[in-house]
Homo-oligomer: A and B are copies of this chain.
Amino acid sequence: MSRRRKTPVQIDVVEPAACSVDVRRAILQKVPFLNGLSASDIDVVNEQFREFGFEPGESIYFSGETAVNLYVVAAGQVKLLRHSVSGQDVLLDVLQPGDYFGNLSTLADDVYPDTAQAHTAVCVLSISSEAFRTLLSQYPSVALSVLDITTRRLRDTQKIVQQLSTDSAEQRLAAVLLKLADKLGEVTSDGILIQMPLSRDDLAQMTGTTTETASRIISQFQKEGVVHGGRQWIAITNKAKLEAIAGTEDPA
């Protein structure tokens, strides 16, 4: 059997230059909640943003810090997580380019409830919460878009609460793989590849289990021919079966 390559996941090179002022407008035009704005409006908005780059693992802000900014992912992926006192982290979301995070309320003494960490090399745009708030007042259509996105996230998070309350670790793992495949899936010779670096530990933090349990379940999935993966990557080879597992109980 042939030797497997390092990882089938394509690592984007995010250079500082790729995040310069010149291309910011192009990025902003693709941000979902700004799609109601004209080119000249975008230019006005563009003025208010600053850009920053982060290496994988670097934190963009920590939970507990005074929350003064709103961020938009320009390139790369950002993890939102919460630390518990016992040391284990919970991974709430993995944000893609165009997603917002941070604070959008203007209460001065508000703090970030979660920590934002660069998962890959990322470029983010930032704006003060106050300025963003003004923007929302000026452009009601933007406010409604942001409201829709937030409502969608609330629903998704409520679904996770349900899964944590009623489903087994195996079911939750299957569900999270399907969700990621839906967002980042790419059909390859390995199956539906999830286009992001994804460790067993990441999966554990997303499903409320331990690294060991996640590893055992993924190994089991591999034996059953449901997924195919390696170090920091995973692909789905039998989506139907995975859906059956994620459902109420396996259909056996």
Contact = CB atoms under 8 A, between A and B. Distances in A.
Interface of A: 82, 84-86, 88, 90, 92, 104-105, 113-114, 133, 136-137, 140-141, 143-144, 146-148, 150-151, 153-155, 157-162, 164-167, 208, 247-249
Contacts of A144: 133, 136-137, 143
Contacts of A133: 144
Contact of A158 (B84, B113, B148): B113
Contacts of A162: 82, 84, 90, 92
B105 A166 contact: no
A98 to B, nearest CB: 18
A208 B158 contact: no
Given A147-B147, A158-B82, A208 B165 contact: yes
A145 to B, nearest CB: 10
Nearest to A133: B144
Query: What does DSSP make chain A's interface, helix, strand, loop or mixed?
Result: helix
B82 A151 contact: no
Contact of A166 (B86, B147, B166): B86
Contact of A247 (B85, B159, B165, B249): B85
Contacts of A164: 161, 164-165, 208
Contacts of A114: 158
A165 B249 CA distance: 21
Contacts of A248: 84-86
A155 to B, nearest CB: 5
A249 to B, nearest CB: 8
A159 B164 CA distance: 13
Given A82-B158, A155-B113, A105 B165 contact: no
B161 A160 contact: yes
Contact of A151 (B105, B167, B247): B105
Q: Of A148, A151, A155, A249, which is in contact with the most chain B CB atoms at under 10 Å from its CB? A: A151
Contacts of A82: 158-159, 162
Contacts of A146: 147
A140 B140 CA distance: 6
Contacts of A84: 162, 165-167, 248
